[in-house]
Amino acid sequence: MDYLAEGIALGVDSLILAACIKQYYKHKNAMSMIQGAPFLEINKDLKEIVRTHPESKLSYVSIRGTVKPLGNPIVSNNNPNVTGVVQLLRIKEHVIQRSTTGFWADSERTIQEVHNFMPFALQSGGMQVEIIDPLAADVLDMDVISDEFKPTVPSVMDHIWGFFAGVRQRGVQSTEKMLRKGAMITGIGEIVHTSDGNLRLQPPSNGAPFYLTNMQVTSLVKKIDGSKRNYRLLCIFFGGLGVVIVGLLVRKYWKYKLKLIEDAKRKEKIEESRRLRRRQMRDNNLPESQLCVVCKSNPIEIILLPCGHVCLCEDCQADINDNCPVCRAPIDKKSVAFIT
């Protein structure tokens, strides 16, 4: 049977469904953790609150403050008046690529991506909390400083080469993003009180998501909830699609089984008709030596190998498969014998 197409479709659907379910529960758990994380003001009481907790840390909290560089800030490559603490430089190549179906479609690939960052803290009310490993954040909101696209002007030879190669250059896109100095940021993660008396916000050691976002906590929860709903709809869609594919497989298998049963019945009917015709053509006046040793009515028609005894009719041979009824020798093979 050929279940290849349905099997591939079911496999792809299962992979997509598993990915959607994983993302759904990831967003659901993240939303629950953010809603359960206490919001703490960055003030003089924060240090005492963290210090008095076990291991001098709070496993998951949210704070909000302005970005303060701990040193000389990073200056923007495209706007010298803009400074910040985290910089992203990305160069993308845009092309028109011919697909296997023969159609041309837009495509892009990242040629280079560079992250620059420096130590910084969130401050409010004269107190500050240093941010550790900001690039590990699940969400790191940055402002777009520059986004420039430089189109490529191809020559005649480029057009000819692109046609045969299946790739035509469109241009190069250069993007710069920065987490600006003085930006208001919400940080959600693990806060610890260090031995030197400072406070640090870092990625949670329990694997919970780490956020550095310009949104309020309520806005972040709404955004994650929207993504969770989208993944839930995708789970329902691909789950239903999987049920349909399984239904098609079961239907196809059932039709195949019915066909096998019908073929077996048809074969048995033809065999029975053939036996009836042979029975009608048999000679009834045969000596006992030429009669089947089992039924004693039909002529002998089957030879048993390797013993060589011709002792069974075609009707009885179907029920005797192990030993010869004459000498009890094992039966390896049965063949039609022509008695003259």
Q: Would you give per-residue pLDDT tens digits along the chain (340 residues)?
A: 577 888 899 999 999 999 999 999 999 999 999 998 999 998 888 888 888 888 888 999 999 999 999 999 999 999 999 999 999 999 999 888 887 777 878 888 899 999 999 999 999 888 899 999 999 999 999 999 999 999 888 788 877 887 777 788 888 999 999 999 999 999 999 999 988 888 999 999 888 999 999 999 999 999 999 999 999 999 999 999 999 999 999 998 899 899 999 988 888 886 776 667 566 555 667 777 788 888 887 788 888 889 988 888 877 888 888 899 889 999 888 888 776 6
Residue 45 and residue 174 in one domain: yes
Does residue 23 fall inside a structural domain?
no
- How many beta carbons lie within 10 A of that of residue 96, not counting itself? 14
Cβ 99 vs Cβ 171: under 8 Å: no
Six-digit token string for 31: 């939303």
Q: Which residues of 59-70 are buried (b: 16+ CB within 10 A; e: fewer)?
A: bbbbbbbbbbbe
Q: How many domains does the chain have?
A: 2
Chain-centroid distance of CA 189 in Å reads 29
223: buried, middle or exposed (CB in 10 Å: 19+, 13-18, 0-12)? middle
Residues 41-59 have pLDDT tens digits of 988 888 888 888 888 889 9
Q: Is the pTM of this model over 0.75?
A: no
Does residue 228 fall inside a structural domain?
no
Does residue 256 fall inside a structural domain?
no
Residue 167 and residue 294 in one domain: no
Does residue 48 fall inside a structural domain?
yes
Torsion angle of alpha carbons 55, 61, 67, 68, nearest 10°?
Answer: -20
Residues in contact with 188: Cβ distance below 8 Å, sequence separation at least 6, in sequence order = 34, 37, 60, 61, 62, 63, 209, 210, 211, 213, 217, 220
Last residue of a domain, one of 214, 240, 257: 214
Does residue 248 fall inside a structural domain?
no
What's the rounded Cα separation, in Å, for the pair 59 and 203?
Answer: 10
Helices (H), the chain: 4-36, 44-51, 156-165, 217-281
Cβ 249 vs Cβ 8: under 8 Å: no
Last residue of a domain, one of 195, 214, 233: 214
224: buried, middle or exposed (CB in 10 Å: 19+, 13-18, 0-12)? buried
Cβ 107 vs Cβ 126: under 8 Å: no
Helices (H), 168-292: 217-281
Residue 203 and residue 307 in one domain: no
Residue 196 and residue 85 in one domain: yes
| Residue 306: cis peptide before it, omega within 30 degrees of 0 | yes
- Read off the amino acid at residue 189: G
Does residue 192 fall inside a structural domain?
yes
- Read off the amino acid at residue 138: D
CATH number for the domain spanning 316: value is 3.30.40.10
Does residue 79 fall inside a structural domain?
yes
Does residue 110 fall inside a structural domain?
yes
> What Rg do the C-alpha atoms of the chain give, in angstroms?
40
- How many beta carbons lie within 10 A of that of residue 235, not counting itself? 20
Residues 294-338 have pLDDT tens digits of 888 778 888 888 998 888 887 788 888 889 988 999 988 888 877
Six-digit token string for 55: 């291991």
Last residue of a domain, one of 173, 197, 214: 214
Residue 294 and residue 210 in one domain: no
Task: Give the residue numbers spanning the domain of 98.
Answer: 37-214
